[in-house]
Amino acid sequence: MDTPQRSITLRFLAEPQDVNFGGKVHGGAVMKWIDLAAYACSAGWSGRYCVTAYAGGIRFIAPIHVGNLVEVEAKVIHTGNSSMHIAIEVNACDPKSLNKRQTTQCIVIMVAVDESGEKIKVPTWVPETEEDIKQHETAIKLMAMRQTINEEMEIFRDK
86 or 90, CB closer to ligand ACO?
86
- Give least dist CB 34 to ligand ACO, A: 11
| Cα 12 to Cα 70: distance, rounded to the nearest angstrom | 5
| Cα 88 to Cα 100: distance, rounded to the nearest angstrom | 16
Helix (H, G, I), strand (E, B) or coil at 35: helix
- Give least dist CB 105 to ligand ACO, A: 17
**Bridge partner list, 101:** 92
Under the rule (CB under 6 A), what is the footprint of ligand ACO? 35, 39, 51-54, 80-83, 109, 111, 113, 117, 119, 146
Contacts for 71 with CB less than 8 Å, ≥ 6 apart? 9, 10, 11, 90, 91, 92, 100
- Give least dist CB 78 to ligand ACO, A: 9
The conformation of residue 80, written as its DSSP 8-state character, comes to -
| Cα 97 to Cα 1: distance, rounded to the nearest angstrom | 39
- Give least dist CB 31 to ligand ACO, A: 11
Helix (H, G, I), strand (E, B) or coil at 57: strand
6 or 146, CB closer to ligand ACO?
146
- Give least dist CB 111 to ligand ACO, A: 4
Residue facing ligand ACO at closest CB distance: 80
69 or 112, CB closer to ligand ACO?
112
27 or 80, CB closer to ligand ACO?
80
The conformation of residue 135, written as its DSSP 8-state character, comes to H
